[in-house]
Amino acid sequence: MLSQPGPFHIRPARPHESALILDLIRELAEYEKLAHEVVATEQDIRSALFGKQPSAECLIAELGDTSIGFALFFHNFSTFAGKPGLYLEDLFIKPEFRGRGYGRKMLAHLANLAVQRGCGRFEWAVLDWNAPAIRFYESLGAKIMQEWNINRLTGDALKKLATEAQG
């Protein structure tokens, strides 16, 4: 007879779990067909989440003692609202645990956290090809912001623009 897994719960990640978080990030990147872009190291994750000035926070989703997913988020700020916002960088539930409401529970947990922290909004991005995720987010009441485009500077372009501030 198979034993039933323990209850589902969400908890803050711990510093010794940096390797686990990186593994989950890699699984997410694989799903998003972006594995080639993951250059983070375990030390990068440890420093960013648990160092002197943490840049983000991470939650671990567990079913009993089994880690089944994570959410990584940070605060931004809305000048129009005059309030902080909560920005979800990554949400991932392992494929074998999807369709059971765990992703929704993670989002509800984060929404509650945003409300408790006085945030004016809770935001995240979704890849335009990910129709199942888009439908899921819309079912929650999320509005896909078609009129906004993300801009990004990385690598050489970032360094080149930064040199203008040095001279």
Which residues does the annotation mark as catalytic?
137
What residue type is assigned to position 10 of the chain? Answer: I
77 in Cβ contact with 85 (< 8 Å): yes
35 in Cβ contact with 29 (< 8 Å): yes
Cα of first residue to Cα of last residue in the chain, in angstroms, is 71
Supply 116's token pair.
């408790």
* Number of Cβ within a 10 Å radius of residue 148: 9
**Three-class secondary structure of residue 64 per DSSP:** coil
Locate tokens 């809305």: which residue?
78
Q: Which residues pair with 10 in a beta bridge?
A: 61
CA atoms within 13 A on the CB side of 95: 6
